[in-house]
Structure 1
Amino acid sequence: MTHHDNNPDTKPVGITLGDAAGIGPEIIIRLLAEGPAWPVVVYGDHGVLERTIKALDLADRLFINSYHRVDDIAWPLAKGAIAVVNRHSPLPDTVQPGVLNAHAGRAAYEYVCHATDDALAGKLRAVVTAPLNKAAMQLGGINYPGHTEILADRTGTAHFAMMLANQELRVILVTIHIPLVDVSPSLTIDKELQTIRLAYQACRHAGVTAPRVAVAGLNPHAGEHGKFGHEESDIIEPAIALARSEGINVSGPWPGDTIFMRARRGEFDIVVAQYHDQGLIPVKYLGVDEGVNVTVGLPFIRTSVDHGTAFDIAGKGIADAGSLKAAFNMALAMSGATPD
């Protein structure tokens, strides 16, 4: 791993710890033990990461260097060194793997905020996030439904969307963390159009020169000409027409029960799904190990694992770092990094 502090093109990737009681610390250490292809700074707790290194029997290969600011890091690091930035207070020893903890919930939020601020200041190439636990955050006094909303709020981003991607599918969501009963009332022509634009933008970032965007209908059979609902004719179709007038190659609305199969066969580069489970079930069914969560529309690249904190296996040394590795590699690709 090489890094030169006088070269802005080799800014580090920031990885946030997530909830310290979940599998975030383990999958981060497993990733870094492989020797990532780009410099990394972890936003998290020194003690938690040090204990994780010992628990995984990696103390002979890895050690922690702590910093208050990313500017304080002298690159390149010594072999086996992990740069950790923490502007939050150290976590107490009461944080235990697999147990909800208010301190861990609050700290997870703070790590995301600090990485976001540094990315906005141009100090990071991208941000990769390990999983949060919403219940723990709420115990810590933070009430957000997930990473996406924290990042959008912190950056003042009005138009954003959540995209899940793996080797076979890219799916972007019109609505994210809201009750199913609220999906239809929240759909608007503008929201559909903005999501189609973000889908196009995400594909361009991923290296697709002429993206083919497909939009899923909300209702069975995409409404079937009004028999099963009018959202398609009143909202989705007008948005598609507007996007086409802007030069975007977009089609639909297509029935939700076949659109993902068609995308896997190569007909489309990305699917616009109307709500959370419509879009995420097909991606996660293909396996969470290689799935990546991307927040599209932010002023910097942000990727994440597509799984949760997995409290049931936290601290047992069996967590798979595959999704984090995929998220890290996608962050490099989307940010145009060229590893040595």
Structure 2
Amino acid sequence: MSKAYIAVPMGDPAGIGPEIVVKAIAEDSLHEEGKVVIIGDKETLKQAADITGLNNLEINEITKASEGRYQPGVLNLFNLANVDINKLKLGEIQGAAGKAAFEYIKKSVDLALDGEVDVVATTPINKEALAAGGVNYIGHTEMLADLTDTDDPLTMFEVKNLRVFFLSRHVSLRQACDMVTEERVYDYIVRCSKALERLGVKEGSIAVAGLNPHSGENGLFGDEEVAQIAPAIERAQKDGYKVEGTIPADSVFHIALNGKYDAVLSLYHDQGHIATKMVDFERTIAITNNLPFLRTSVDHGTAFDIAGTAKASAVSLVEAIKLGAKYGPKFKR
């Protein structure tokens, strides 16, 4: 099986993105996983190499992914040359940096839509910097949805043997509870099953987490499980989907981690985030599953407080690239 081409946008130039990019590329073993291209700014990456002591890293400018030299010690770069290094202030919110970060992502998406790369593995961006730069998106998911004309992108986290999908993302807990309806739960069971298949997991089994303590104890602690979730599960089972639930949230993630289920449907943001990050914070990787291409992502921010100090860990980015390499060749467009 051929190696996947993986595009990595550099992230906010004022954050830790450039540093974790050069640290990741400097890991020789990463080049055995896939063919990685960086979309960013050469001067910013040279500065990051100086900060991290990786001055021996060769930056190879390319205009096509096929021009890359995929070997240890080489960083293959689509250089957008869109940062004035003399004005860049590390660790600070800047409109120019937010605008540049968006341009890296857009170029990555263009490469993926053109079929030049198989995977986009994203690095941190900053919402305030985006806004200051006139980029009107609140985050990666919304940005990618708009750039690819995708309705309601499907988020999945993976860490070790645990995969978690989310019924809702960035809404209040009150709104998240209101979104637990029979139609939405059924729709997500179907979509999650199809997403697993796209990743090469055929006839994947899904467990639906309970919303209330002990899954509501048959209506004693809330009736969402009885009134909304159970009918959705029964309907999906009749339609041939491998789904069980509800299973109390205090045990379902542990059960899935130990191999009984291929994935868990979490009913709100923090329910699944806490579960995955307690398994391994740095190695919890996000996948956006129903785009025209596979997208993986680090699950941390720009960390302005340590930008320019060389303290940032590249573990999450390395894992995001590895996960892209794992699923990229299997992913069904």
Q: Is the 8 A contact 2:42 2:81 kept in 1?
A: no
Deviations 1:271-329 (CA, angstroms, capped at 9, x unpaired):
10011101101111122221111011111111011222222222211221111111111
Aligned residue in 2 for 1:48: 44
Matches of 1:47 and 1:266 in 2, distance apart?
A: 46
Aligned to 1:65, what secondary structure does the other structure show? strand
58, 76, 94: which one aligns with 2:54: 58
Matches of 1:112 and 1:242 in 2, distance apart?
A: 39
Runs (5+) with no aligned partner, structure 2: none
1:70 aligns with 2:64: yes
Going from structure 1 to structure 2, the CA distance change for 1:190 and 1:20 (only over 3 Å counts) comes to: farther
94, 108, 117: which one aligns with 1:124: 117
**Cα shift at 1:129:** 0.5
Q: Is the 8 A contact 1:212 1:269 kept in 2?
A: yes
1:303 aligns with 2:296: yes
Aligned to 2:306, what secondary structure does the other structure show? coil
**Cα shift at 1:202:** 3.8
Runs (5+) with no aligned partner, structure 1: 1-7
Corresponding letter in the other structure for 1:51 = Q
For residues 32-111 of structure 1, what are the structure 2 equivalents within 5 Å? 32-35=25-28, 36-37=31-32, 38-60=34-56, 62-67=57-62, 69-70=63-64, 74-76=67-69, 80-87=73-80, 89-111=82-104
Corresponding letter in the other structure for 2:160 = Q
Aligned to 1:312, what secondary structure does the other structure show? helix
Q: Is the 8 A contact 1:103 1:140 kept in 2?
A: yes
Matches of 2:210 and 2:99 in 1, distance apart?
A: 38
For residues 289-300 of structure 1, what are the structure 2 equivalents within 5 Å? 289-300=282-293
135, 144, 152: which one aligns with 1:142: 135
Q: Is the 8 A contact 1:159 1:194 kept in 2?
A: no
Corresponding letter in the other structure for 2:51 = A
Deviations 1:163-206 (CA, angstroms, capped at 9, x unpaired):
11111421110101112221122333333223223332343344
Matches of 2:193 and 2:306 in 1, distance apart?
A: 37
Deviations 1:93-138 (CA, angstroms, capped at 9, x unpaired):
3323222222111221221122112111111111100111112212
Q: Is the 8 A contact 1:206 1:333 kept in 2?
A: no
Going from structure 1 to structure 2, the CA distance change for 1:186 and 1:209 (only over 3 Å counts) comes to: closer
Aligned to 2:60, what secondary structure does the other structure show? strand
Q: Is the 8 A contact 1:214 1:251 kept in 2?
A: yes
231, 256, 267: which one aligns with 1:263: 256
Aligned to 2:120, what secondary structure does the other structure show? strand
Highest relative contact order (Cα 8 Å, sep 6+), 1 or 2?
2
Aligned residue in 2 for 1:240: 233
In the TM superposition, structure 1's runs of 4+ consecutive aligned residues that sit over 4 Å from their partners are 8-11
Going from structure 1 to structure 2, the CA distance change for 1:77 and 1:323 (only over 3 Å counts) comes to: closer
Matches of 2:86 and 2:181 in 1, distance apart?
A: 48
Aligned to 1:90, what secondary structure does the other structure show? coil
Q: Could you tell me the TM-score, scaled by structure 2's length?
A: 0.90
Aligned residue in 1 for 2:270: 277
Aligned residue in 2 for 1:192: 185
**Range with greater deviation from structure 2 (17-26 or 216-225):** 216-225
Matches of 1:130 and 1:75 in 2, distance apart?
A: 21
**Range with greater deviation from structure 2 (132-141 or 165-174):** 132-141
Matches of 1:127 and 1:307 in 2, distance apart?
A: 16
Matches of 1:308 and 1:151 in 2, distance apart?
A: 17
Going from structure 1 to structure 2, the CA distance change for 1:104 and 1:185 (only over 3 Å counts) comes to: same
Q: Is the 8 A contact 1:45 1:91 kept in 2?
A: no
Q: Is the 8 A contact 1:161 1:297 kept in 2?
A: yes
CA RMSD in angstroms comes to: 2.3
Corresponding letter in the other structure for 1:281 = I
Going from structure 1 to structure 2, the CA distance change for 1:313 and 1:90 (only over 3 Å counts) comes to: closer
Matches of 1:265 and 1:323 in 2, distance apart?
A: 22
Q: Is the 8 A contact 1:170 1:269 kept in 2?
A: yes
Q: Could you tell me the TM-score, scaled by structure 1's length?
A: 0.88
Q: Is the 8 A contact 1:41 1:84 kept in 2?
A: yes
**Cα shift at 1:256:** 1.6
